[in-house]
Chains A and B, each alone.
Chain A
Amino acid sequence: MTETPATGPDPEPASTASAAAGPAETGQVEAGQVELGEPGKPAGSRARLTGTVIIQAITQGSSAVITILAIFLALVVGAILIAFSDPVVTKAWSTFFSYPVYALSQTWDSVSFAYSQMFEGAILNPSTVSAAFHGGSIAAIFYPLSSTCAQATPLILTGLSVAIAFRAGLFNIGAAGQWVGGAIVATWLGFGVSLPPVIHVIVCLIGAFVGGAVIGWFVGLLKARTGAHEVIVTIMLNYVMYDLLSYLLSHPTMLQEPHQTNEIAPFIDNDANLAHVGGPPPQVGIGFLIAVAAAAAVAWLLVRTTTGFQFRTVGASPSAARTAGINVERSWILVMLLAGGLAGLSAATVIQGTNTQLTFNSYGTYGPDGITVALLGRAKPIGVVLAGLLFGALHVGGTYVEAATLGQVPADIVQVLEGLIVLFVAAPALIRAVFRLRSTAGTGLDAVAKGWNG
């Protein structure tokens, strides 16, 4: 890659989009796009060029290739972990020198069973396909995919929350706390207020956005006014919000379901539930569509608006942005407000979509997962959607494989895989070293957090 804006595989001159991206995009290459040489070559050589481009992309390691190799490498390390925590496999390896083939076949069986179960649970189960040919339900084929979309929805939204903050040079570890803020407001509006059907849904969504946005805004405000590092403040606010949630859920006068001893809130009204598109049971929730729409909105904001340009400039260099007359503090506050709002929306899709009841454990790992999703998606909206879908699939597959192996392979394996994938994506130099790729600049993470020195 060179220091010119990317032109994509199409040998036409640069489109208006990359021109509108402005100076901050210069020197960066969009995920999946490859530098081609000078634009405006004759269209006749297109096919040959595409081939060259693909080969170049593979040998030099474009962002997409690095990501795919990172996923592959993570699956390999995960396989080792699966194999060597399986008692059958470890026993087989203890007799490796007498029966080497047996040890290897046991290892292969253990690993391939776990991964194929994961695939069947999350993407496609061949048995449902053959059943459909023999008069079974066609809809059942799409059941795994619809679960994946449902799982991906909150991850995409918290991923966007982290990603948009990254673009302005802030590391939002606080998506979890902002999620809780959104969940509290959505739940309260969900059961405490009576409104007509469609309006109730919208009010809850807006409420969740505001609930998260307030938390994010506070972080931005502290950063802008006092210089408090957002990493510390967001981490601490996460714990504050967990404790606040615990307090609210243990007092019936607050959010607790009456006559309950557990930390659990009442069900929200049916009016406030997000509807599903398509018939039961494989269906896509409105929540998923909201997440995709939010990704599109963030993409539009970042690429097409002055505010987005300011965010990216501040992210590239706060001091340069300040010299150029951009109000850096205002950008910090605004981007954290939006990040908080997106995390709050994530809570709304869970509370109004899949759970319909807030408990102390509702917040799960949406916040930390948002960080990994944003990093894997390279802090770009389209990347975040794809990464969210991948991690959604991993989550569904993890639960499925735990059930299929009767707990032999715990669903936590997914968390390990996620961590490994992002670790490898964040270190393209390692991937290049392992796969012997030629070294080029510019395919590392565009999303970098600022150190303590700001």
Chain B
Amino acid sequence: MTTVATAVRAPLTTERRRHLAAATFIAIGLINIGVFGALAHAGDASFELSLASASVKIPVIRVPAAPVCYALGAVALGLGVLRATVPLRRLAKRLAIAGVLVCFLVSLLCWADAGAIPLNVIIISQGTFTESIPLILGALAGCLCERSGVINIAIEGQLLFGAFTAAIVASAFGGLWVGLVAGSLAGGLVGVLLAVFAISFLTDQIVLGVVLNVLVLGMTDYLYDRLMSTNPNYNTGITFGSIKIPVLSQIPIIGPIFFDSTIFLYITYVAIIVIQVALFYSRWGLRVRAVGEHPTAADTVGINVLWIRYRNVILGGLVAGIGGAYLTIGSVGSFIPDISSGFGYIALAALIFGRWTPLGALAAALLFGFCEEMALVLPTVNPVLPAPIMNMAPYVATIIAVAGLVGKVRPPKADGQPYVKA
């Protein structure tokens, strides 16, 4: 136990990582074959590609369930062997992960739907976006904070406070846009608290985030009991309607998925593009990343480290607040206690899975959103699947992602370290 060999051994080598990823790939392939393929009912799995109301109908796709599962399992196994034996480039590694995940998800769908009513791919895709919006916005908020070197566990609290404030302001003033702005500002307020305590008072950031979440949960529970439950006028449940983009929303398949949704989806598009471009292709972003990687060096060349951190943490809060507003005035309308129910934490996992980049976080958030949508849809087509077990899917997926697939994550180097000018 205390030999020199143990003492000098690095905890995780690239070699070990490769084996771990390959083992995960192979395990997924075996599940495709042994579980989904072998247990699928006889009969075809069928997928609809257009809504009932669509003007252009696309014929239903039917595939034999078990053989497809076997084939996809074989692909995953092949990728696993490839990953274990051939040193791959970075892009190839990521494509391999994506390929294995797609194989897994399609097999899951085939197995669940074998011999049952057709699954509507459009509705599932729309649902995936519906579930993903708060995750994407939350993960983007985390990205803004953590790229500048402040760990943001308080995404959950920012979403929750945004949701509460948006609902109460929209209800009290009868204006949805006022509610949206108020929700965003509420998230920003939690961001201000995070910034003040983390940057000025040098509080441990992980502890701080958890405490802020507890505080916001208590505060919203208290105010819900005190204001909303006694006075329904403060929680009327008004929501944004869906906006069809002219022309684009008429395109088959793509139209109803991407261009027929509430304002929140379009805000999300803008946020992803703006933040990705700003972080990686602008002077602004270069400074933010410099502060997150090496604040001393950034300070030496005249960048105001604390100001950039304050600004980014608060900006992140504003973005997360919009995600919170979505939870109430963008989807269900009324606020209920603890409505964010862990979205903030999943957003955090998406951020890490997406390696602290907006596009990576987007991909991860969509994966988690898809898992949540599956948890809602699959028990309705296949009653063998108990809802509670399906509900575990996004969380189990996160654990597998963080433990098996992510590889060596490299967070911003100064992430979580307060900067004190020497």
Contact = CB atoms under 8 A, between A and B. Distances in A.
Given A227-B11, A325-B6, A375-B207, A410 B221 contact: yes
A433 to B, nearest CB: 8
Contacts of B399: 222, 228, 232-233, 236-237, 240
B211 A452 contact: no
Given A226-B404, A325-B2, A453-B416, A231 B207 contact: no
Interface string A288-302: 000000000000000
B215 A423 contact: yes
B225 A407 contact: yes
Most buried by A among B203, B208, B408: B203
B204 A449 contact: yes
B151 A236 contact: no
A451 interface: yes
Contacts of A426: 197, 203-204, 207-208, 211
A452 B352 contact: yes
A410 B392 contact: no
A3 interface: no
B58 interface: no
Contact of B211 (A236, A326, A375): A375
Contacts of B415: 451-453
Interface in B335-355: 342, 345, 348-349, 352
A453 B398 contact: no
B386 interface: yes
Interface residues of A, number: 62
A322 B416 contact: no
Contacts of B205: 451
A413 interface: yes
Given A235-B345, A451-B151, A429 B207 contact: no
Interface in B405-422: 408-409, 411, 413, 415-417
A12 interface: no
B217 A415 contact: yes
B403 A240 contact: no
Contact of A415 (B222, B226, B352): B222
A313 to B, nearest CB: 13
Contacts of A236: 345, 349, 395-396, 398-399, 402
B11 A329 contact: yes
Contacts of A226: 12, 20, 403-404
B158 to A, nearest CB: 15
A105 to B, nearest CB: 22
Interface in B188-207: 197, 200-207
A326 B200 CA distance: 36
A243 B392 contact: yes
Interface string A391-423: 000000000000000010010111111111011
A328 B8 CA distance: 12
B153 interface: yes
A419 B391 CA distance: 29
B348 to A, nearest CB: 7
A323 interface: yes
Closest 7 CB pairs of A and B: A451-B416, A415-B218, A419-B215, A410-B225, A247-B388, A449-B206, A325-B2
Interface of A: 81, 85, 171, 173, 222, 224, 226-229, 231-233, 235-237, 239-240, 243-244, 246-247, 250-251, 322-330, 368, 371-372, 375, 407, 410, 412-420, 422-423, 426-427, 429-430, 445, 447-453
25 contacts: A81-B219, A222-B399, A226-B403, A227-B12, A227-B408, A236-B345, A236-B349, A236-B398, A236-B399, A239-B342, A244-B388, A323-B7, A325-B4, A325-B6, A325-B7, A371-B214, A375-B207, A414-B218, A416-B215, A419-B218, A426-B197, A429-B203, A449-B207, A451-B206, A452-B409
